[in-house]
Amino acid sequence: MTFADVAARLAARTALTLGWRPDDFWNATPGELLGILQAMAGDGEAPPSPDIMHRLMTRFPDSPSGET
């Protein structure tokens, strides 16, 4: 089985399981996909607390002006 065959199968599974469109799959990193699948299986780490999320959003804003 080629890489393309495996990638096509995985893309199809993420579409069925996660509701992802092809762009969602191809723009995700392997680490992001692994994290999501681990969380769904209950094998991942606990999600960050709201306080940690707020600190990260403050430290790394999405917009140049710092608005969230």
Span 10-36, pLDDT tens digits: 999 899 999 999 999 999 998 999 888
Query: Above 60 in pLDDT, residue 66?
Result: no
What gap in Å lies between CA 4 and CA 59, rounded to an integer? 38
| Assigned token pair, 17 | 């399981």
| Assigned token pair, 33 | 């996909």
What gap in Å lies between CA 54 and CA 68, rounded to an integer? 10
| Predicted local distance difference test score (pLDDT) of residue 52 | 92
